[in-house]
A and B are shown apart, each in its own frame.
Chain A
Amino acid sequence: MTPYVTITVNGVPHPVAADITLAAALLNIGVTAFRRDLDGLARGPVCGMGTCFECRVVVDGIANVRACLAPVRDGMSIESSA
């Protein structure tokens, strides 16, 4: 059985697989807007390996965390622009 952890996304708790990245967890939850551009339009992961910086979200109050590089952690709190 896959072990799960609970992360909070924009105030809502979600159980997610413990061995995946934060980008994968957010996409599986259905988050599409990780951040917004200057026109307010949604942006999401592109390169999946830390190069493009499109998947940056706020994690536990720290801005500009690349979700594709971050492992999920129990109790993590994420703010995206969804």
Chain B
Amino acid sequence: MVDVLVVGAGPAGLSAAIAVAERGKRVLVLDQGLRPGGQIWRHRQLASLPPHARAMIERALALGVVIANDARVVDAISPNELVIAFRGRIDRQPTRALILATGARERLLPFPGWTLPGVVGVGGLQALIKSGVSLAGARVVICGTGPLLFPVAATAVAAGADLLLVAEQASRGAVLGFGTSLLAKPEALLQAAKYRAVFRKAPFHTGSWITAAEGFGHVQRAVVNVRGKSVTFDCDWVATSAGLVPSTELAQILGCTTVDGAVDVDDMQGTSVGGVWAIGECTGVKGDLAAITEGEIAGRAAVGDVDGARAGSLQRRRNRGRMFGRRLARAFAAREELLQLATDDTIICRCEDVRRRDVDPTWTQRQAKLWTRVGMGECQGAVCGTACTAMFGWAANVARPPLGAPTVGEWGEELRNTAP
């Protein structure tokens, strides 16, 4: 039994774990990655991280926070007991309190050719580079949206890529408006300028988006609408996404209320389920600084330091983070054109190979599942469910256990040996 179980070792989860450990309580952090830090602080060498990220990971470890990497949550028996796959085995982990810091994933929308190898997410490209992929000499086109574009473009150039284009789907006006709102945060503008300097040789266009990828066996060309003109780029990689969406599967299984696809939380970061707190991007995308603040609030609240969690400065910082998240969502909302790129022949469910022509948008999500298996493959709708919600207005996929694709082997020798 631990006092607090934290799911996710990104900035939010680490911050919560530190707050718990500072109050002398036992905390265990579960994370699917190979090292702590989540997606934003993904690394192979701790030394490669920015100082504040490195300091946070080192602080957590110095306080005796136990971080179980390469661990997946499979199911929730109750808020006080999760089922975990770890080191090839499935076990139950009891806890007094539970904090969800499950992060976000990319909204990937279908377009002709998007299933070709070499077509990846924008965050996907960054994750692959940070996992050790070499881009030396590779021609790369990046078409996405939001503040993630700049660091990913810089990372690609630093990894040796020949970056041909960075396209932002939001309009010039939206981007300028968002930039102006950052004048109150000069350090963010400075950081953006630093990233831009790294990828200065590549053109950056607003109001531009991918319309097709072409190639045989691998992407060879990207067709991009560059400010209203269709331009073809010969390339080896295309990174594309339409923003980030909260990952709420575990929260759903626990019965937590979600609003607009994000876990609903109160001022203490408490969810609708007693004993369960939620922090960071799973409660709405708003960046790492807000996530750290939310972690601090939830960590305090989860061990009964309610006054500490209510502290005015923390609450104000968190509220500013929420406002920042709303501005982000407004400025970088996926434009209508992105929802209509798929042609009849385009695969929309990548696991079950369901094509656009196979589904009727007037169906409900459930009808579509029963008739075509859309959303019923390995990813359990993580990709196409999100896309269909955006394109057709279908209800979001309902998460069901088991999560995290446990294997028969992990369920135990007895299960493996009882096959007829």
Contacts and interface: CB of A to CB of B under 8 A. Distances in A.
Contacts of B134: 28
Interface stretch (B54-62, B259-267, B276-284, B375-383): B375-383
B399 to A, nearest CB: 13
A38 interface: yes
Contact of B128 (A23, A34, A66): A23
Given A49-B123, A69-B32, A37 B128 contact: no
A12 to B, nearest CB: 19
Given A41-B115, A64-B378, A47 B131 contact: no
Contact of A62 (B70, B351, B409): B409
Contacts of A42: 116-117, 217-218
Contact of B383 (A23, A45, A52): A52
B405 interface: yes
A51 interface: yes
Contact of B32 (A39, A50, A64): A50
Contacts of A51: 105-106, 247, 379, 382-383
A17 interface: yes
A37 B350 CA distance: 8
A62 B409 CA distance: 9
Contacts of B347: 37
Given A19-B132, A24-B128, A42-B218, A52 B353 contact: no
Nearest to A21: B131
A53 interface: yes
A7 interface: no
Interface in A17-58: 17, 19-21, 23-25, 27-28, 32-34, 37-39, 41-54, 56
Nearest to A33: B117
The binding surface of chain A is classed by DSSP as loop
Contacts of A41: 115, 217
A48 B121 contact: yes
B131 A37 contact: no
A24 B350 CA distance: 21
Interface residues of A, number: 36
A68 interface: yes
B124 A48 contact: yes
Contact of A47 (B33, B115, B121): B121
B131 A24 contact: yes
Interface string B15-40: 00000000000000000111000010
Contacts of A20: 44, 131-133
Contacts, number: 118
B124 A53 contact: no
A23 B405 CA distance: 18
Q: What secondary structure prevails in chain B residues at the interface with A?
A: loop
Contacts of A71: 34, 70
B119 interface: yes
Nearest to B382: A51
Nearest to A19: B44
A65 B90 CA distance: 16
B359 interface: no
A69 B109 CA distance: 23
Given A49-B123, A69-B70, A32 B106 contact: no
Given A39-B353, A46-B121, A53-B405, A32 B217 contact: yes
B353 A44 contact: no
B346 interface: no
B32 to A, nearest CB: 6
Nearest to B351: A53
Given A62-B409, A68-B127, A49 B133 contact: no
A66 B124 CA distance: 14
A6 to B, nearest CB: 16
A60 B126 CA distance: 28
B120 A49 contact: no
Nearest to A44: B117
Contacts of B118: 32, 44
Contact of A46 (B45, B124, B131, B378): B124
Contacts of B191: none
Contact of A64 (B106, B383, B405): B405
B115 A25 contact: no
Interface in B228-265: 247
A49 B217 CA distance: 23
Chain A to chain B: the 3 pairs with minimum beta-carbon distance, closest first: A20-B132, A48-B127, A44-B117
